[in-house]
Amino acid sequence: MVEIIGIRFKEIGKVYYFSPAGKKFSAGEKVIVETARGVECGEVVIENHDVDESNLVSPLKPIVRRANEDDLRRIKDNEAKEADIMRTFTKKISEHGLKMKPIDVEYTFDGSKILFYFSAENRVDFRELVKDLAGIYRTRIELRQIGVRDEARMLGGLGICGRPFCCSTFLGEFQPVSIKMAKEQSLSLNPTKISGTCGRLMCCLKYEQDSYDALLKITPKVGAIVETPDGQGQVEDSNLLTGILKVKLKSNPDAPAQPYKREDVKLLKDSKIRVNRDELAALKGLED
């Protein structure tokens, strides 16, 4: 077992593990650490605890020290600089006539690098822009093109539920979401109903998927052949949450499908939930 603490460098984002080097840290404390990007200041979000060494992908770097008043003052100064740099970034993009949208600017804690985040529909030749920015700020410049999900996370906003975006409030990392999940949850495959502001499948489709997976294991699907108290039939509708099936009986094919409880039927031959080609074509790009 190895003792670790979890550090987050942005208000919402991935949690990175570091070695506490024998010291105790509390959630909310600011600490100085050495990262691949240089010296950074992060916030403790996971206090000291032990984990299996096999769960760690690389040797842990130790905490350099707790942040002091000078460090906290530097952070505020950097944040003030970022606002000014963002205005310059936007202006220079316009001057160079580049088809890119400025999203965010990050000034590293030690001032050794400035990261510029932008979105664009296609690849952008920003070499001249980098030279221009480097000439102004006299430090290392890095431009990063981000996708629509990361753009939504950085800019924030309200989802169709009326609440702030999950990705900009509590999601540490994006989880894979698929059209098949929407299909299995009996949702309308209307792109406007299952996609977020970013234009991709809503992250919240993932939240209940484990429950739906469990229900799918015990519930006959649409098209399944079942044995009911009234004879064999084929499932025409299946409500996973209520457990009510509508079954078209073979003995009376002209009659409306009859309702049965999940536990009152016996599965003879199950079916599969598939997304057909037309549906995939209509929803192309939502999973990207």
In a domain, 228, yes or no: yes
Rounded (10°) angle between helices 69-96 and 127-137: 140
Give the CATH number, domain containing residue 232: 2.30.30
Domain identity same for 29 and 63? yes
**Secondary element (H or E) of residue 271:** none
In a domain, 202, yes or no: no
In a domain, 36, yes or no: yes
Tokens of 269: 């031959």
In the chain, the amino acid numbered 167 is C
In a domain, 217, yes or no: no
Comparing C-alpha atoms, which of 230, 236, 227, 231 is closest to residue 269?
227
Q: What is the pLDDT of residue 231?
A: 94
In a domain, 156, yes or no: no
CB 142 within 8 A of CB 116: yes
Domain boundary among 12, 39, 67: 67
Domain identity same for 90 and 63? no
Domain identity same for 63 and 84? no
Q: What is the pLDDT of residue 288?
A: 67
Domain identity same for 82 and 137? yes
- Produce one character per residue of 226-262: b if its CB has 16 or more CB atoms within 10 Å, e if not: bebeeeebbbeebebeeeebbbbbeeeeeeeebebeb
Per-10-residue mean pLDDT of the chain, 288 residues long, equals 86 83 88 85 88 76 89 90 94 94 91 92 91 93 92 90 89 86 89 90 92 94 94 94 95 92 94 82 76
Domain that holds residue 251: 222-269
In a domain, 190, yes or no: no
In a domain, 280, yes or no: no
The total number of structural domains that make up the chain? 3
* Helix, strand or coil, per DSSP, at residue 27: coil
Q: What is the pLDDT of residue 146?
A: 92
Q: What is the pLDDT of residue 174?
A: 87
Domain identity same for 126 and 82? yes
In a domain, 20, yes or no: yes
Comparing C-alpha atoms, which of 140, 154, 174 is closest to residue 37?
140
Strand partners, 104: 117
Tokens of 140: 């290392």
Domain identity same for 80 and 139? yes
